[in-house]
Structure 1
């Protein structure tokens, strides 16, 4: 029996002061602060400051941080021009990834790899990613690009750039809370990708570009897109029971249910469920009710058939929330990036500059080779003219 921990599950690879997850008790901590306290009392800007600098800001610090964010919202005209030259079918995550890498070309201080320079880059990236995402959605829909505001919150500004009109305060606040909930989650796939790239001494742009690539997969940031596709396929609350039963009978997953870390309720899902319920009631939307029914039926069937409880993760209710807010489905993952950029940046800076040991100079996990062995001297090389096809499928 293979007892190895495939996928580095539960393997401790580095120390961090940024985030703690208690999967058994459903606790998520940012720099010592419970995510539920931050969701109830904080703002995304304040949370981003906490993740980057390690402490909640005083008013003067937050004012300076907010000023830097608003001043950095604009993106170079050439980046916008290059987006306009892309096919409108280009995936938003691909556009985001390429645009982030392009920003490196406009960094006048590119040669300075000191900590302060990287923190300034981090602030600039937090500010610019929403602008890129909103600009691309308008470009692909043949609409004029809306310039970022020089005031208002991070959440308000993004919704304004996306729609071309100011959102209501309660809508901005709901979106702000969702950004807080997605801002950080320890060594998940995209964060680990960012840290691994940073460990090579690559730039913050390269590290964030790699993180965006990892986030784009449907088993990570793309999961809430799959949840919304599931909701649309089900279509009506009366179809949930049979759909879930058929899905589980086939041994397939119900997207949005279960988590690699949490063995109880993901604390973020509880908050998102509350937000989804509120916005669905305001918009007279059916999607929250269908989502809630999926959770109930999946839990019940899993317990009846396998004697195990399974709980919703962060993706289950974020899908219905964003859809009810009128956000296009394929922007769900870019919005995840708009939030998670704060956590990514914090980890990259910690990877590059943390004083605590042990800290790897370069991540280099070991693989177990299970390929061909032809003998102690290896396989004999046969010239092309005398080589026989060993794979009929390629004939």
Structure 2
């Protein structure tokens, strides 16, 4: 009998599967680039709407173009009443990511461009999705808490409008600005799991909504999305800075993971984390309680040192580490952290779907169809002989 073949489980790590003009992640250098622009040069200087325009149209807008784009988004934020009614009928303990994913194909049914297959129609669909993701997430948080959804305010930008729809109060400039920067930082990150899911579905020529629904489903998995939720749960579990040493020691002794430390791509600190960190500190000071920032900082410093001592190598902070306390200081429910990721990443997902289907030199000629190595040697080197039921 032949020996079984070795199992191949690369998870596509290190495998280049397509070309893209949208973004680049240089892990060794700690660089994230959106269409040629380093993200650290954009964060805090331009709005999420500008980033969405850049990702969709390959360049930054001028003032007239930006104003028009903002109007398009504002005009499309309202979700059909039928979808809100369907959400009200859902169990109040439904997971926010599942509700968001369920809403995507429902929104497809109301899109006048759904059956069109040109790039302009796809772009209009992308604008509707970008506009409505925040509305769906905010509406669900209110519905599950026994409150009526708040209609979007066309006078507010995407970040401020989301916070307004959550709690009914127009945020001040600092709060809205921090949320806006958070959306900018999460808008795109090359071929991560959810983006690949979207592109794989798009490669079949399925419409944008089908591809985006797949992306949301991928993001709902704990190995991709939800890390900042688990970071905040970890901070709440520790509770006090003087308990950090014992927590770190116990995690490393038991082979556990310090959430928010380590990344699949970066070999240095995630550049986005260094932008989010001072924002968390600022909101901590503003609230009169810097505990969650202080805990995060202590965990970063002591976790890195302990990991280096025990493992003999460095570990680095990722984007989720400080976004957790930042959103918590904003009063946002912990289980909304992944949906907020989606509210931002819908811009990147849409750009990738459009590139996959219409991207010229960057578009692939056919659908994704990888090979696999069959290792099911159930009957040795020969195929199994069928045995009828009465002889088994």
> Number of residue pairs matched?
387
| Match of residue 296, structure 2, among 272, 276, 291 | 291
TM score, norm. by length of structure 1 = 0.95
| Match of residue 355, structure 1, among 357, 360, 375 | 360
Q: Which runs of 5+ in 1 are unaligned?
A: 388-395
Deviation at 1:284, TM superposition (A): 2.1
| Match of residue 303, structure 1, among 298, 302, 308 | 308
User: 2: CA distance between counterparts of 1:144 and 1:207?
Assistant: 30
Specify the alignment match of 1:126 in structure 2: 130
Change (3 A) 1:280 1:32: same
Once the two structures are superposed, what CA deviation does each residue of 1:307-345 show, in whole Å capped at 9, x if it has no partner? 211011011111111111100000000000000000000
Change (3 A) 1:292 1:182: same
Specify the alignment match of 1:137 in structure 2: 141
Deviation at 1:218, TM superposition (A): 1.4
Contact 2:113 2:124 in 1 (8 A): no
Q: Alignment RMSD, CA only?
A: 1.4
Deviation at 1:377, TM superposition (A): 4.0
Please give the secondary structure, in 2, of the residue aligned with 1:28.
strand
Q: 2:62 matched to 1:58? A: yes
| Match of residue 343, structure 1, among 344, 348, 363 | 348
TM score, norm. by length of structure 2 = 0.96
User: 2: CA distance between counterparts of 1:371 and 1:227?
Assistant: 39
Specify the alignment match of 1:391 in structure 2: none
User: 1: CA distance between counterparts of 2:365 and 2:328?
Assistant: 42
Deviation at 1:372, TM superposition (A): 2.9
User: 2: CA distance between counterparts of 1:83 and 1:368?
Assistant: 43
Specify the alignment match of 1:382 in structure 2: 387
| Match of residue 200, structure 2, among 196, 200, 217 | 196
User: 2: CA distance between counterparts of 1:21 and 1:108?
Assistant: 36
Specify the alignment match of 1:317 in structure 2: 322
Contact 2:6 2:375 in 1 (8 A): no
| Match of residue 367, structure 1, among 365, 369, 372 | 372
Specify the alignment match of 1:91 in structure 2: 95
Please give the secondary structure, in 1, of the residue aligned with 2:70.
helix
Contact 1:46 1:62 in 2 (8 A): yes
Specify the alignment match of 2:223 in structure 1: 219
Please give the secondary structure, in 2, of the residue aligned with 1:29.
strand
User: 1: CA distance between counterparts of 2:110 and 2:363?
Assistant: 35
Specify the alignment match of 2:285 in structure 1: 281
- Which shows bigger deviation, 292-301 or 1-10? 1-10
Please give the secondary structure, in 1, of the residue aligned with 2:25.
strand
User: 1: CA distance between counterparts of 2:313 and 2:192?
Assistant: 24
User: 2: CA distance between counterparts of 1:109 and 1:36?
Assistant: 35
- Which shows bigger deviation, 222-231 or 260-269? 222-231
Deviation at 1:3, TM superposition (A): 10
- Which shows bigger deviation, 359-368 or 339-348? 359-368
Once the two structures are superposed, what CA deviation does each residue of 1:176-223 show, in whole Å capped at 9, x if it has no partner? 000000000000000000000000111100000000000011111111
Q: Which runs of 5+ in 2 are unaligned?
A: none
